[in-house]
């Protein structure tokens, strides 16, 4: 929530299609913002699209298996298909992409509510549900070590990830001040309430002992409540959930590439906006091709690039921290800037957010340092991503930068009024 308030100030004062890219550029210059755009394109956004597409393919293969090609090929074919279809939907226009997202999110929320209903159904059947006792492994000893807690939080906070993506549509929102604050704060409150209800449902419907041994809590709970048909329903809900996340990532991921294309002449092809459809069409096309390439690599090597996406968590938290610190930098650098929304209790709340980012950066580094990929320490993967961006940065610097940065905000608000 503290992070949402920080982003609400940044996104209303510096409204831009580039989102974090623009905040980082204003605070630290073109080099840092370019490295951020590269990290999003190479792993954070495009890699997430491909990874979620495989989740879509895996679960859809359970419902509609393609026996002629086998499970692995079936998953890859479904993954490639959903990437192409959703890219086409978003290239058609922002209205079609946003409408698709609204319907998918509504169905996904309905699925979370169904999990709660399943627990209530089980409680009504036996009168109490599964209360059980606390797992002994948590109760024993002197408590969880800080490093272990941090590693757990890497994945816990991943479930909440994406709320900051609202910054990428700041320049396209009507009544940006009130709607940005509402979209960030209310969405986090709603999501937190849903997750607490779902966790309660697992606790009451399965009990802590079954929870501690389950690899698929929702599927186990629905199977217990409704039999095999419940498991099929859960598979369908995972399919819908993955499509929802893919679509949202496509909408925001292409916008950071578009913003970089506006600033670097060598990437100008990415910086073309389709004013009729209201989309960064070229950036969406390139993003689609890159995601399909990752799907092909994933089909060829197995789940290797899944690890690559997970092991770049420190890169994500590094730029998240820099975005939080940019609030302090820009308050000092632009004291006269009109800020439609200001973080309450400044500088306390932004300091809390940045401190948490530092903790998560340390936690993600600890997690990655204890993993290996291809015989190498996984920490080198994040270094390789940033090094690749630095090499590309040297290449794009050979073409002179534009005399002045295009007025993205004014362009989009003019188009919106039209």
Specify the pLDDT at position 184. Answer: 85
Confidence of residue 171 (pLDDT cuts 50, 70, 90): low
Whole-number Å distance between alpha carbons of 162 and 401: 31
Whole-number Å distance between alpha carbons of 75 and 299: 9
Q: Both tokens of residue 325? A: 């610190």
Specify the pLDDT at position 355. Answer: 97
18 neighbors 252 (Cβ within 8 angstroms): no
State what percent of residues in the chain have pLDDT above 70.
Answer: 88
Specify the pLDDT at position 153. Answer: 86
Whole-number Å distance between alpha carbons of 226 and 233: 9
pLDDT digit string, tens, across residues 49-63: 988 898 898 888 878
Segment 335-341 shows an average pLDDT of: 90
Confidence of residue 411 (pLDDT cuts 50, 70, 90): very low
Q: How far is CA 98 from the centre of its chain?
A: 16
- β-strand partners of 244: none
Q: Please say if the pLDDT value at position 255 is more than 50.
A: yes
49 neighbors 83 (Cβ within 8 angstroms): yes
pLDDT digit string, tens, across residues 182-193: 888 888 898 889
- Residue where the block lists tokens 């893919």: 246
Specify the pLDDT at position 104. Answer: 85
Specify the pLDDT at position 140. Answer: 45
Segment 9-16 shows an average pLDDT of: 88
What is the chain's mean pLDDT, rounded? Answer: 83
**Could you list the residue range(s) of the whole structural domain that residue 351 is in?**
2-417
pLDDT digit string, tens, across residues 372-408: 776 778 778 888 889 999 999 998 887 665 544 444 4
Q: How far is CA 394 from the centre of its chain?
A: 28
Confidence of residue 136 (pLDDT cuts 50, 70, 90): very low
Q: Specify the number of domains making up the chain.
A: 1
3-state secondary structure the chain: CHHHHHHHHHHHHCCCCCCHHHHHHHHHCHHHHHHHHHHHHHHHCHHHHHHHHHHHHHHHHHHCCCCCCCHHHHHHHHHHHHHHHHHHHHHHCHHHHHHHHHHHHHHHHHHHHHHHHHHHHHHHHHCCCCCCCCCHHHHCCCCCCHHHHHHHHHHHHHHHCCHHHHHHHHHHCCCHHHHHHHHHHHHHHHHHHHHHHHHHHHHHHCCHHHHHHCCCHHHHHHHHHHCHHHHHHHHHHHHHHHHHHHHHHHHHHHHHHHHHHHHCHHHCCCCCCECCCCECHHHHHHHHHHHHHHHHHHHHHCCHHHHHHHHCHHHHHHHHHHHHHHHHHHHHHCCCCCCCCCCCCCCHHHHHHHHHHHHHHHHHHHHHHCCEECCEECHHHHHHHHHHHHHHHHHHCCCCCCCCCCCHHHHHHHHHHC
Domain at 308, CATH number: 1.20.1740.10
Whole-number Å distance between alpha carbons of 16 and 326: 15
Q: Please say if the pLDDT value at position 126 is more than 70.
A: no
pLDDT digit string, tens, across residues 63-103: 888 877 777 788 889 999 999 999 999 998 878 778 888 88
18 neighbors 168 (Cβ within 8 angstroms): yes
Segment 274-293 shows an average pLDDT of: 90
Whole-number Å distance between alpha carbons of 228 and 63: 12
Q: Please say if the pLDDT value at position 346 is more than 90.
A: yes
């Amino acid at each position: 929530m503290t992070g949402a308030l920080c982003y609400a100030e940044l996104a209303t004062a510096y409204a831009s299609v580039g989102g974090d890219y623009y905040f980082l550029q204003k605070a630290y210059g073109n080099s840092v913002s370019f490295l951020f755009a590269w990290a999003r394109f190479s792993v954070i956004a495009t890699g997430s699209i491909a990874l979620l597409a495989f989740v879509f393919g895996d679960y859809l293969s359970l419902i509609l298996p393609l026996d002629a090609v086998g499970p692995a090929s079936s998953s890859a074919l479904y993954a490639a298909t959903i990437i192409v279809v959703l890219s086409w939907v978003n290239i058609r226009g922002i209205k079609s992409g946003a409408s698709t997202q609204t319907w998918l999110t509504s169905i996904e929320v309905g699925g979370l509510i169904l999990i709660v209903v399943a627990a209530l159904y089980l409680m009504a059947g036996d009168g109490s549900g599964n209360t059980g006792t606390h797992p002994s492994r948590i109760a024993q000893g002197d408590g969880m070590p800080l490093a272990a807690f941090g590693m757990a939080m890497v994945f816990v906070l991943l479930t909440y990830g994406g709320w900051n993506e609202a910054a990428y549509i700041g320049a396209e929102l009507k009544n940006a001040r009130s709607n940005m604050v509402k979209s960030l704060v209310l969405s986090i409150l709603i999501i937190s309430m849903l997750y607490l209800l779902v966790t309660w449902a697992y606790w009451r419907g399965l009990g802590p002992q079954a929870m501690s041994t389950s690899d698929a809590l929702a599927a186990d709970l629905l199977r217990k409540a409704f039999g095999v048909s419940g498991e099929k329903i859960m598979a369908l809900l995972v399919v819908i959930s993955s499509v929802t996340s893919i679509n949202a990532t496509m909408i925001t991921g292409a916008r950071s590439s578009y913003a970089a294309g506006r600033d670097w002449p060598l990437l100008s092809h990415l910086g073309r906006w389709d004013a009729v459809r209201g989309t960064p069409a070229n950036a969406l096309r390139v993003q689609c091709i890159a995601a399909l390439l990752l799907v092909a690599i994933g089909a060829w090597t197995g789940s290797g690039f899944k690890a690559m996406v997970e092991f770049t968590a420190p890169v994500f938290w590094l730029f998240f921290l820099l975005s939080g610190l940019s609030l302090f930098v820009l308050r000092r650098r632009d004291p006269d800037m009109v800020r439609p929304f200001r973080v309450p209790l400044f500088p306390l709340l932004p300091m809390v957010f940045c401190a948490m980012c530092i903790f998560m950066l340390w936690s993600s580094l600890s997690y990655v340092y204890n993993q290996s990929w291809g015989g190498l320490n996984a920490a080198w993967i994040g270094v390789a991503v940033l090094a690749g961006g630095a090499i590309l940065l040297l290449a794009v610097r050979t073409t002179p930068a534009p005399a002045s940065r295009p007025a993205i905000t004014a362009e989009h608000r003019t188009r919106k009024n039209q």
